[in-house]
Amino acid sequence: MTPIEAAIAIPPAITLCYGLVCAGSPLGDCRKCRGFGFAMKTDRKGRPKRGKHCRRCDGHGKRIRIGRRLFNAARRTWHDATAEPAARAARKDTPPWR
């Protein structure tokens, strides 16, 4: 395999692997609270202590991966484009980040 062939083959392989990760585990740890759901503080003696509730993940400690979010948006667009008009009108709108 020449270097050019490798340069062509590696990005689709990385994309495929990321797609498999998003399919197998669509939720990742919140990057702000690192999956705890709250911030970590220390008390005056230096011992770790529970801090404020995480507002980004609302205390769940999880976030939707970017690839899964793109997949959900594509699926929602496909569903809206192909749904019957009555079903389309009855559908509740969800915020774009869900």
Residue of 33, 41, 72, 79 that binds Zn ion (CB under 5 A): 33
Number of residues binding to Zn ion, judged by CB under 5 A: 6
Residue of 46, 57, 76, 91 that binds Zn ion (CB under 5 A): 57
22 or 30: CB nearest Zn ion = 30
Phi, psi for residue 60 in degrees, rounded to 5: -80, -30
- The SS3 call for residue 41 is strand
- How many Cβ atoms from other residues are within 10 Å of residue 81's Cβ? 8
Residue recorded with tokens 């939707």 = 64
Residue of 3, 42, 53, 54 that binds Zn ion (CB under 5 A): 54
Closest CB 14 distance from Zn ion, rounded Å: 27
What end-to-end distance do the CA atoms of the chain give, in Å? 42
Closest listed residue to residue 53, CA positions, set 37, 34, 41: 37
22 or 33: CB nearest Zn ion = 33
Tell me the one-letter amino acid at 41.
K
22 binds Zn ion (CB under 5 A): no
Binding region for Zn ion (CB under 5 A): 30, 32-33, 54, 56-57
